[in-house]
Chain A
């Protein structure tokens, strides 16, 4: 049975991507993991790989075409002569390949549509939201779009009285708007900060860097790792709110903000809780380098369950970050002043109360 290769999601906020090119031709044999083409958004270019061995049957999308995330990009078959399934035909499942891990958000989506995980083709070995969305789109169950959220109904904003020109938003600007609208309409955001002495953290990071011979100062990665540790012992900070319930994620996917040129990414280290400090620092370093090169992989640009943001670089001494969609805790690190600093957190008050946030911040304010 033919296997579809779907248009991947590069980041949470782009539902469409541009098909750049194909590296294969119809009839060509490809191996699992082989790059078959590329897609791009304003923010990044992503290689698309074959999920299985097979023969290229044909292309559905075309180079330079704007394609919907989750739609079929090309088809692979067990033989070069296999026919391409008609549009709307069922796609094969992955049940013969053994069970794949299912992310927390994907579980929510599966439950919402009554779909079993073994019917969904994994992405990077996991059943992710993107994988479920592809399944839903392929089976006519829903458009390939993020999980629906109930937004507050607001009256349309009146046009300003002062004459001006309406300028269409770029994809990145649309993405930022979507994130802040989720924060405004879906979360019940709060912000708390505590004062702390940054010297022990600085010394801990200095010793770690010296011991490991690291080029990159590891302070922020180590603080992010501490957040992962705290999330492991306080699962409610690694959670979201769905259908009147707190949903505690089964993995800690740490999202770390990074500004790369004009692009702001939330680079994600998945299942960070299984790593040790050194492993996490290396893993975060890898994804941050790819973000800096606008080469984030699909699985590294989405799926955050908790967030870390620092504005120390700009000497900002306090900032209140926006919560990424479907998270409840975003740590805010800032620059020290006169030997003191603040450590803050934006949080979803449906999931956490102030006391719980303070407890987490106190744990985070020291390296041990």
Chain B
């Protein structure tokens, strides 16, 4: 199945929902343009988990400099960054 921004964002959201659920939070209403850390739905350890999963799932090793709000701050940005790293946009 081809990678699209929508399918990637849906996968990432599913992962965030699962991480938030471990801490007793519900992230099912997370919108594509909400700043993820600002929502408080997942903490720093949860974000680490998310980034480790993101790198592995999409096979895009990240540098520390790339892990910023501009690239990965929202579902939409994370999805776009996958496509960017893979040369699909």
Interface residues of A (CB under 8 A from B): 209, 212-217, 219-220, 258-260, 282, 285-286, 288-289, 292-293, 312-313
Contacts and interface: CB of A to CB of B under 8 A. Distances in A.
16 contacts: A214-B67, A214-B68, A215-B37, A215-B47, A215-B51, A215-B68, A215-B73, A217-B37, A217-B47, A282-B65, A285-B64, A286-B64, A289-B51, A292-B49, A293-B52, A313-B23
B35 to A, nearest CB: 9
Contacts of A286: 64
Interface string B45-89: 101110110011000001011011111110000000000000000
B68 to A, nearest CB: 5
Contacts of B62: 289
Contacts of B56: 293
Main DSSP-derived SS at the B contact region: helix
B12 to A, nearest CB: 13
B67 A292 contact: no
B26 interface: no
Contacts of B51: 215, 289, 292
Contacts of A289: 48, 51-52, 55, 62
B39 interface: no
A144 to B, nearest CB: 31
A213 B43 contact: no
A282 B64 contact: yes
Given A215-B67, A220-B44, 12 more contacts: A214-B67, A214-B68, A214-B69, A215-B47, A215-B72, A215-B73, A217-B37, A217-B47, A258-B45, A260-B49, A293-B55, A313-B23
A325 to B, nearest CB: 24
- For chain B, the bracket of interface size reads 20 to 34
A216 B49 contact: no
Contacts of B70: 213
Interface in B15-38: 23, 36-37
B52 to A, nearest CB: 4
B85 to A, nearest CB: 16
Contact of A288 (B37, B43, B48, B65): B48
A336 to B, nearest CB: 13
B43 to A, nearest CB: 5
A355 B67 CA distance: 40
B67 A285 contact: yes
Contact of A216 (B48, B55, B65, B71): B48
Contacts of A216: 37, 44, 47-48, 67
B69 to A, nearest CB: 5
A215 B52 contact: no
The interface centre, meaning the residue of B64, B72, B73 with most chain A CB atoms within 10 A of its CB, is B64
A292 B36 CA distance: 19
The interface centre, meaning the residue of A216, A219, A220, A293 with most chain B CB atoms within 10 A of its CB, is A216
A212 to B, nearest CB: 8
Contact of B45 (A214, A215, A313): A313
